[in-house]
Every structure is written in structure tokens, then in C-alpha cells.
Structure 1
């Protein structure tokens, strides 16, 4: 495998399994998703390191690599949330590497819940750290805790290149054919932003219009 690269004090995983995961991201993801996913891993791992949190580096890495692959044409379904598509893809990938059922479920949860603030941060370290890394990269949550030197080193390796402008259309492209799957999630905001006159399904309407008499 050669000498592992160290970025911002984090040793990048370089096992056969993680290398294959990276190859899939390269093959089926875009440059934007590649850079975002690797920044997400580094932000997550840094947070874990700085807070003395014990976590499985390889599983966190695979979770970060697969977390948005459910947006891509190769992995997306017609009827599931994109997070579930990515989680299913990661589970299939890891099962081929002899990962235990418990760890398969851990990675599945990390990916499926990465857009679920208020839940993910209270689960296992890998789940919470992935959510942290995603939130830091997408909306800047915890930005003030990131050392400037670490930020520059990470962005030097995995640049943003107009990320703010391009990530919303990238998200939307992944589920524009199934906007109903965004109900109850922050992704409904993407549909409202990108679809003129989009009417979100309303939970209160669902209650009041249910078949129950009272």
C-alpha cells in the first residue's frame, strides 16, 4: 500500500477495502462529491481525535465515502430516500469484505441518518462523527472550532471549488425524480428551493385528512 498520507494530523486509511471504496467514489461520483466526502471524513476524524472519542477509522471512512453515493445514477433507486440508497450500497460493499453484521448496521445507520440532526449525534461515535463532518462541510456547523491550519491543509488537498453554489443542484439532481421521498427531512427544503411552486406534503394536513372519524 505504500506510505499512508497524513492530512491535518489524520492518517488516511489505505487498506484494500478503503482503497476499493475510494475507487467506487471516483468511478460513480463527481469531483464535487469526491472532495466533499473526503473533507467530511477528515472533519469527522479530527473532531473524534480532538475530543478523545474512540472510533473505527476504516468504518468512518467508508461511511463518508458512501454517504452521498445514493445521489448518483449508479446507486439511486426510484422509491427510496437517497440516504437509504447510499446506506444499502455501503452495506452490500462491506458485506463482501467480511464485515460483521453489527458493523454493517453501524455503517448503515451512519449513512441513513447523516441528514438527521437531533438524532445522529446521540448514537454511536461513527454515526455521530459522520453527521458532524457533513454538517461542518455543508453548513459550517462547528467551523469556529476548526484550526485555520487544518482548514487550509484539508482544502489544499480537497478544494471546495464553488461548493456553496453547486451542492444544492447536486443534491436535487439525485432525487428530483422522487421528491416525495424528501417528506419529513431537510431535503424537502432542496425541493422547495429548486421546484417552482413546489407544495410540500404537510404533516398536519395528513393528520386532519386521515380516514379516522375523530
Structure 2
């Protein structure tokens, strides 16, 4: 793996390498490449906006952001984003990282699919969200030069990412589709689980047990 890609240095501290080892062991090639593209796109967008984040914390956040989809870290009843955030918190606590940094990483991972909130928080949180949005949905795709795209994809190929990522999402929470209620992953369940219909917030309000 190149140390510098598209002008971005990939952290290679001991803790960063150990986090990468966990993704290699428990993740997949799809998540490995996706997570590294997310980090690179996050840093690139930070440079363009003049926003400085702690690169090591941002990299670890990117490595853990989808680990909640894996069998190793998936809980029976929590959102996968929370599972990934909890795994990162445990990892950082074992490495005696300070509480403030751990909270940043936890928020970045837990909020990386939460529209309208993450982009208004600290740089590590906002940039992880931006990196995910660019890689998954092409948000601000036009801000990257063709040379940047080619260099990132040469190191971490997409390999039919658009066709593979939705089934990969579902695999991570098909045993607990109720955890997607109220968030964008409900769309994945409705698309890929035959007959599944996400609960409707308005119906929950109108059919609550309160007598009016």
C-alpha cells in the first residue's frame, strides 16, 4: 500500500496499523477498499475546505465505520453504526486514548449515515460523513479532479461497488431490520427483503396507546 495517495498520507502509527489489521481480519476486500477511499476522500475534502482534522482519529474512524456490519462486531439489537462505534471505543480504550478523542471517533462512526447533523459537528465527524457520502452516493464527486479519482481507485478499486455494497449492508443487519427504522438503511431493507415494509412514523403517532 502506498504511503501517500492523491497527496494524502495514510497514517502508519502503531495504533493505526493495529486498527487496519482488525479490518483486514474481520472485514472484507469490499470494506477494506471502501474504508480507505472514505478516508482519502474525507482528507481531500478537508484540504479543499481548509478544515483540519486529526488524521489518525479520522483514519481509525474510517476503518471502523462499517465494522458493525461484520459478524465479529454485530450486536443482536443495535444499529450497525452504534456497533462499529462501540467497537472503536473499546479498541481505543485498550490503547489508553483520551476520552475526548474517543468521543470524537464514537460520534463520527455513529453519525456517519445521519443526514443533516454530522456535517455540523467537529471536523473528524463532518469529514468522515463527507467521505462516506462521496464514495457511496457520489456527493461532491465533481470537486475531485480526474487525476485524484484515478489515483485513489488505482490503490483501492471499486470493483462493482455500487452493485455489491447494498447486499453487504443488508447482510450486516438482516437479522435486525427494525434497527433501520428512522434512518436511511430502511431503504436497503425495503429494496432487498421481499415484502418488508419499514414502520411509518405517522402511524406510530396515530396509533400510540394514548387516549385522546
**What's the TM-score, normalizing by structure 2?**
0.98
Counterpart selection for 2:95 from 94, 97, 112:
97
The residue aligned with 1:184 is 182
Q: Deviations over 1:29-48 (max 9, x none)?
A: 00000000000000001111
The answer on 1:156 being equivalent to 2:169 is no
Q: Does 1:147 pair with 2:145? A: yes
Cα distance in 1 for partners of 2:18, 2:51 equals: 26
Please report the RMSD computed on the Cα atoms of aligned residues, expressed in angstroms.
1.1
Map of 2:201 onto structure 1: 203
TM-score by length of 1: 0.97
- Aligned mates of 1:153, 1:117 — CA distance in 2: 28
Q: Which runs of 4+ in 1 moved over 2 A?
A: none
Q: Distance in 1 between matches of 2:93 and 2:105?
A: 11
Q: Which residue does the alignment assign to 2:10?
A: 12
Distance 1:148 1:47 in 2: 15
- Tell me the number of residue pairs that the alignment of Structure 1 and Structure 2 aligns: 212
Deviation at 1:199, TM superposition (A): 1.5
1:117 positional shift: 1.3
In 2, Cα distance between equivalents of 1:129 and 1:55? 8
Other-structure match for 1:77? 75
Residue 98 (structure 1) shift:
1.5
**Does 2:51 correspond to 1:56?**
no
CA distance in 2, matches of 1:37, 1:30: 10
